[in-house]
Amino acid sequence: MTTPVAHSATNPRRPSGRARTFWTRLKTGDEVAFLITLACAASVLLVTGLLVFELYQNSALPRHKFGWSFLTTDVWDPVAEEFGALPFIYGTLVTSALALVIGIPLGVGAAIFLAELAPARISAGLTFLIELLAAVPSVIYGLLGIFILVPALRSAEPTLRAVLGWMPIFQGPFYGVSLLSAGVVLSVMILPFIISISREVILAVPNDQREAALALGATRWETTWDIVLPYAKNGITGSIFLALARALGETMAVTMVIGNDPKIVGSLFAPGYTIAAVIANEFTEATGDMYSGALIELGLVLFGLTIIINAVARILVSGGRLKGAP
Amino acid sequence: MTAAAPLRSANTTRRKVVNVVMLTLTGLCTLVAAGTLVFILGYLFIHGGSSLTLDFFTKLPTPVGEAGGGMANAILGSAKLLLIAMLVGVPLGFMGGVYLSEFGGSAFSFFVRYTTDLLNGVPSIVIGIFAYTVIVLPQKHFSTLAGGLALGVMMIPIAIRSSEEFLRAVPISLREGSMALGASKARSILTVVIPAAKHGILTGIMLNLARVAGETAPLLFTSFGNRYWSPGWDQPTAALPVMIFNYAISPYEDWHRQAWSAGFVLLALVLTVNIVARIIISKRTSPR
Amino acid sequence: MPVKLDAKPAEPAMMQDLRLHERETEAATPATRTAKLSAEDLNFFYGSFQALHGISMQVYEQHVTAFIGPSGCGKSTFLRTLNRMNETVRGSRVEGRVMLDGENILEAEVSDVRRRVGMVFQRSNPFPKSIFDNVAYGPKINGTVKGKSALRDKVEQSLRRAALWDEVKDKLHESAYGLSGGQQQRLCIARALAVDPEVLLLDEPCSALDPIATAKIEDLIFQLKDSCTIVIVTHNMQQAARVADYTGFFLLGKLIEFDLTSQIFKNPSKRQTEDYVTGRFG
């Protein structure tokens, strides 16, 4: 090599430029550090890829047998080896939807209070408390669900029927464990996500927007409803999608209160089953490759569902935080 | 000149009422949310804490139907599972975070971040299936290793993101200062950047562990459960959250009581770690 | 009227404007002017810090009043007490009275006050809605205009009063954010005018605008003052001299002097006023 050997400014004894061979860099440790950390970062790609592969591979049997009709069949008969995902998709969607119906008004309402009305320190303190709800393990929610919520709903049955019984979704026999109970438990579990993110997004709305509305004679509520919330709507919607993604994947609390019955009944009083719950309950009892394959295929379906919802959520939240205004 | 508007808006009273009602409702929503947490804490403390005995921590479970006994094996089992999880999740996650923070910026990093978020969003039961297919199936038995791996995989994405966040928060001036003194990039990272971020990283690990400590679903068919001690790493093991689940859905009154005690212990541990971690973080980041 | 100049001479252009004002304001003798807004011994506190000390003054109907003074002198703070916008700051407290047509606004319904006393802010802040919806928002929530066609008329009228109609009439349903800075500020003026306020408060409305946009808004002020009493806070003395009939000079939370603009600039009675307008500090 005829390249003149330049010397680095910081250390005259250390050659720089082209003369720094791989081995020289290796000695300083930079290259080693780079490679090791790169490998660790790459491990995420490896793990995720392997996960998808294993899900796909191990569900080959039912996939080949049922094809896409797996998603539309409502029969779940392990004995006859007839498997359809519809009852579980139904249960998953219904309980998540109910969770949102309860959780969105409660969550956005609380977020409004915490962001617009409460003094800064009280807001921070209450938010801290509410965020702790997210740290409570699912099985604890299940415990409270079985022993407190379900009995409470059972004793409230007459009232519920009196007030809501005119709607078909609140009719039929009620034993406590039901889609309703699961939906209520889920709504509590997703509250902290909706509240925390919505509060942040609302706080980020520029104050001059509020001033403009107030100066026109708008009341505090009108300002919040007409101006602030629309401005923050991307972020709030994102938080809702995030909450939905969590609700879809919740296992323990749901399986402890939902009744675990793979039937599609058009009433919230009826017991039901979700994808996560059936996997949790039946996986260790699954005899035969078709049966366990079907459960793994359900896992694949759940995986796909949550990926999509999470992706939408992320787009909305990062857009909401950065831009805000359409 | 334009016509003067009425001196008092016709709808003012209605708007005032709506204003007060709606704002009060938002306060009620907050009360419900915060109150639920207080209720959960209170109930578990009273119901679970009151029936907590020393036996819980020292005795093994008794045969089905017999009263008494404890969950000593589940406590040890959870500890072992968390150890494996930590050994799997923390190095990979932390180093990955170092990569993204210190060497990142390329399309590869974007891809890694995207996949990390993706993995983070995967329901824990699906992670359980993954660990099952990768370890339990080939070995043809449940094991502590499989359970620990499932939890470890769950720890990776959070460890990456939180490490990256805290490393990024270290000011560039520190890095530049170190390198201007002649230290290599690797040395700067090791001796300057990481120590500067250590509080955040450690609390991140604490929070991560607290989160997976409460996970039940991925253990149901990996570590499965065990009525006795589980020596080594190759056998199925009891774990605290799984015991709570099994006891809660059982028909035995005594097991229900034990489930409450276990629930209290688990919640107390998880919340304590959470609160301590957050206090440490807020102390470090708030201006003095 | 002889011009007494014992300090730095004003620029020729400013002199011309002053004479113009002199002529116009000769007509507005104390007998013909009426006080639209008046502050009576107003004190204002941020927590324990007193930002305004015993302000008493009058804003005359169909005239333009300017508040001038160095940064932090309280002129904006005082402006905001006139439509109770200062109440949005937590821990703030007002003592004294602010009368609008003889009625104390501090005891009236706040949304009514703000409908009658409008405000335009330093930086334009249109809502992320269409141009039409921005202007229509005020009348809609206040219920002052009912019916779709009446609303359309009101929007057009307001945009015309703000000298913006011709520029936006073909794109009323496009986003307000597509307008230039000067246009957005005029949109904010149109939005404020749409509820037919009796007084319009302008808080340094041109500080973020270029000279051409500024000139357009100053012309606007001339055209508006007959239908709407105007109060303008400005850090630009020349602007006050150009547009205002009356000027108040603020310093450290006190109203040092309040008089015809011509007097403030040519014949100030207080030493501090003279020092400020002649540029000895600022």
User: What are the tens digits of pLDDT across the range A147-173?
Assistant: 999 999 999 999 999 999 899 899 999
User: Distance between terminal CA atoms of chain A?
Assistant: 59
Under a CB-based contact definition with an 8 Å cutoff, are residues C229 and C208 in contact?
no
List chains touching C (3+ CB pairs under 8 A).
A, B
**pLDDT of the residue at C148:** 93
Confidence of residue A326 (pLDDT cuts 50, 70, 90): very low
Six token digits for residue B215: 């996970």
Structure tokens at A160: 């519920």
Measured from the Cβ of residue C266, the count of other Cβ atoms closer than 10 Å reads 20
**Residue B281, pLDDT score:** 81
How far from each other are the two terminal CA atoms of chain B, in whole angstroms? Answer: 58
Given a contact cutoff of 8 angstroms between Cβ atoms, the answer to whether A205 and A124 are in contact is no
Paired tokens of A263: 């039937």
Query: Please, are residues A145 and A257 in contact by the beta-carbon 8 Å criterion?
Result: yes
H/E run at residue C251: strand C246-251
Give chain A positions within 8 Å (CB) of C141.
216-218, 222, 226
Alpha helices in A78-228 (DSSP H): 86-112, 120-132, 138-144, 150-155, 157-164, 179-203, 207-215, 220-222
Look-up of token digits 């991925």: B218
Q: Which residues contact B139 (CB under 8 A, 6 or more apart)?
A: B146, B234
Q: Has residue A279 got a pLDDT over 70?
A: yes
CA atoms within 13 A on the CB side of B204: 24
- pLDDT of A1 > 60? The answer is no
Nearest of B112, B90, B91, B115 to residue B101 by alpha carbon: B112
> Pick from A171, A187, A318: which is nearest to A244 by CA?
A187
Closest to A41 measured CA to CA, from B164, B194, B154, B192: B164
What per-residue confidence (pLDDT) applies to C81?
A: 95
φ, ψ (nearest 5 deg) of residue A123: -60, -45
Distance CA A171, CA A217 (A): 47
B249 touches chain A (CB under 8 A): yes
Which pLDDT belongs to residue B63?
84
Q: What angle is formed at CA B247 by the lines to CA B243 and CA B251, rounded to 5 degrees?
A: 165
Q: How confident is the model over A69-78, as a mean pLDDT?
A: 92
* Cα-based angle B127, B128, B132 (whole degrees, multiple of 5): 120
| Residue B164 contacts A where some CB pair is shorter than 8 Å | no
Chain A contact partners (≥3 CB pairs within 8 A): B, C
Tell whether the model's pLDDT for residue C15 goes beyond 60.
no
> What is the structure's pLDDT at C182?
93
Sole residue written with tokens 């809609």: C140
Q: For residue C143, which of B20, A227, B2, A219 has the smallest C-alpha distance?
A: A219
How confident is the prediction for chain A on average, in pLDDT? 89
| B83 vs B94: CA distance, rounded Å | 16
Which two three-digit tokens encode residue B67? 């009263």
Q: Tokens standing for B120?
A: 């983070």
Instruction: Give CA–CA dist A121/A119, Å, rounded.
Output: 6
Q: Can you state the angle between helices A207-215 and C181-193, rounded to 10 degrees?
A: 30
- The model's pLDDT over C47-81, given as tens digits with 9 standing for 90+, comes to 999 999 999 999 999 999 999 999 889 999 999 99
CA distance C161 to C170: 17
CA distances from B224 to A107, A236, C200 (A): 36, 39, 73
Beta bridge partners of C38: C58, C99
Give the minimum alpha-carbon distance from B231 to chain A in angstroms, rounded to a whole number: 22
Question: Cα(C68)–Cα(A132) distance, rounded to whole angstroms?
Answer: 51
Q: Is the pLDDT of residue A322 over 70?
A: no
Each residue of C73-90: pLDDT tens digit? 999 999 999 999 999 988
* Inter-chain residue contact C196 with B3, CB threshold 8 Å: yes
Please report the pLDDT score of residue B1 as a whole number. Answer: 36
Binding-site residues on chain C for chain B (CB distance < 8 A): 109, 111-112, 115-116, 141-144, 157, 161, 195-196, 198, 226-227
In tens, the pLDDT along C132-149 reads 999 999 999 998 888 999
| pLDDT value at A6 more than 60 | no
Cβ–Cβ under 8 Å, residues A283 and B220: yes
Sign for the pseudo-dihedral over CA of B238, B240, B245, B247: positive
The beta-carbon contacts of C80-83 under 8 Å, at least 24 apart in sequence, are: C80/C119, C80/C201, C80/C203, C81/C39, C81/C42, C81/C44, C81/C52, C82/C37, C82/C39, C82/C117, C82/C199, C82/C201, C82/C231, C83/A215, C83/C113, C83/C114, C83/C117, C83/C118, C83/C119, C83/C199, C83/C201
What is the structure's pLDDT at B18?
Answer: 94
pLDDT in tens, C220-234: 999 998 899 999 999
Specify the 3-state DSSP secondary structure of C141.
helix
Give pLDDT tens digits for C257-266.
999 999 999 9
- Please indicate whether residue A77 or residue B7 has the higher confidence score (pLDDT): A77
Residue B9 in contact with partner chain C when CB distance is under 8 A: yes
Taking CB atoms and an 8 Å limit, are C111 and A212 in contact across chains?
Answer: no
Nearest CA of chain A to the CA of B215: how many Å? 7
Q: Which residue has the tokens 């709570």?
A: B244
Q: How confident is the model at residue C31 (pLDDT cuts 50, 70, 90)?
A: low
Confidence of residue A317 (pLDDT cuts 50, 70, 90): confident
Please say whether the beta carbons of A55 and B130 come within 8 A. Answer: yes
Work out the average pLDDT over A123-146.
94
- Touching B: which chains, 3+ CB pairs < 8 A? A, C
Asked whether residue C268 carries a pLDDT value surpassing 50, the answer given is: yes
Contact across the interface for B9 and C115, Cβ inside 8 Å: yes
Of C144, C226, C227, the CB nearest to B9: C144
The pLDDT, as a whole number, for residue B50 is: 84
> pLDDT tier at A26 (50, 70, 90 boundaries)?
low
d(CA B82, CA A252): 19
The 10 Å Cβ neighbour count of residue C20 is 13
pLDDT along chain B (288 residues), means of 10: 48 90 96 94 89 86 82 94 96 94 88 93 96 95 96 96 92 88 84 88 92 95 92 94 95 91 94 91 64
Q: Is residue A165 classed as helix, strand or coil in its secondary structure?
A: coil
Side chain identity, residue C130: S
Q: Which among B16, B194, B14, B39 is positioned nearest to B102, based on CA atoms? A: B194
Instruction: Read off the amino acid at residue B65.
Output: G
